[in-house]
Amino acid sequence: MNKEEVTDIFLKILKEEEDVSAGVAAIKTLLTVIENYKVTTVRELDKNLQLAVEAMRHCDQPVTAISSGCELFMRFITFAKLDVKSFEECEQIMLQRGRIFLDQLLEARGKVAQQALPFISDGSKILTHSRSRVVLQAMLEAAKANKRFQVFVTMACPENSGEVMHKQLVSAGVDATLILDSSVGYIMEQVDIVMVGAEGVTESGGIINKIGTYGLAMAALELKKPVYVLAESFKFSRIYPLNQQDLPIEFKYLSSVINARKNLSQEHPLVDYTPPAYITLLFTDLGILTPSAVSDELINLYL
């Protein structure tokens, strides 16, 4: 097995499954590696999995969720090493646990949406940033429950990912308006809540998300608007950034940009860090959490 093969598997999943996130696609790729690339020792299997993770981190996809999801996956399945005598049995148990882990991931988005549903009330105005699959599902669930609400979606330059979110909401019959990123301050006084996704949740309870989230959260705090974050627990990451510069370089830029050895200070970062002080609640498949509760949940995930 080589990195090119892993890259092809990973990118094929992303292409064929339009609604899958990079983090979930990474887990599916690791399962494929275990199933299709047979080895004879635990060491060889570990080497294959580590090679696969490294390959996916260099696929010009957002790395935050790939990193946290793969770390949790590896932790979850490798308990099997301590439980059995033969490698074949160990491999089967790891594969079984990997499938259980994936099933939990696939159910997580729906659980998060259900947690957030009561917080979307009739007549409310919601501001969201960029495109988040879990935020979209929560809003679609609210629309199915016959709730009437209005959504303002930022364009999210330079990729304009908010345009996709806006189209999906409108096609589902939700009253949605696409706005410029620079109009967040103007719109903020009109909205009741801010609801965003996250590419990663840090140990402090802060979030790593699409660039512009930090500025949006600051405006929300100034105008006393609650900021709700919707995120699956596989995005919980054991990192503790202190500021924007403290975020890992590979989280902020695509690998192609880093490898080109350009002056990164002149490059547009993909994400920013929003400290926990700006976040009201996090809606996760583990329950509704305050930012201060995230570290405890991370401990439980890695026990």
pLDDT tens, residue by residue, 124-151:
999 999 999 999 999 999 999 999 999 9
User: Starting from the edge strand earliest in sequence, which strands make up the sheet with 207-210, in order?
Assistant: 200-201, 207-210, 271-274
Separation between Cα atoms, residue 166 and residue 127, nearest integer Å: 12
Using pLDDT thresholds of 50, 70 and 90, give the confidence band for residue 75: confident
CATH topology of domain 3-109: Four Helix Bundle (Hemerythrin (Met), subunit A) (1.20.120)
Domain with CATH 3.40.50.10470 in the chain: 112-302
Domain with CATH 1.20.120.420 in the chain: 3-109
pLDDT at 204 over 90: yes
Higher pLDDT, 111 or 42: 111
pLDDT at 187 over 60: yes
Token pair 């899958």: residue: 20
Judge contact between 30 and 49, C-beta under 8 A: yes
Token pair 């957030």: residue: 116
Q: Which amino acid, residue 206? A: G
CATH topology of domain 112-302: Rossmann fold (3.40.50)
Specify the DSSP class assigned to residue 83.
Answer: T
Beta-strand pair 125-128/150-154: parallel
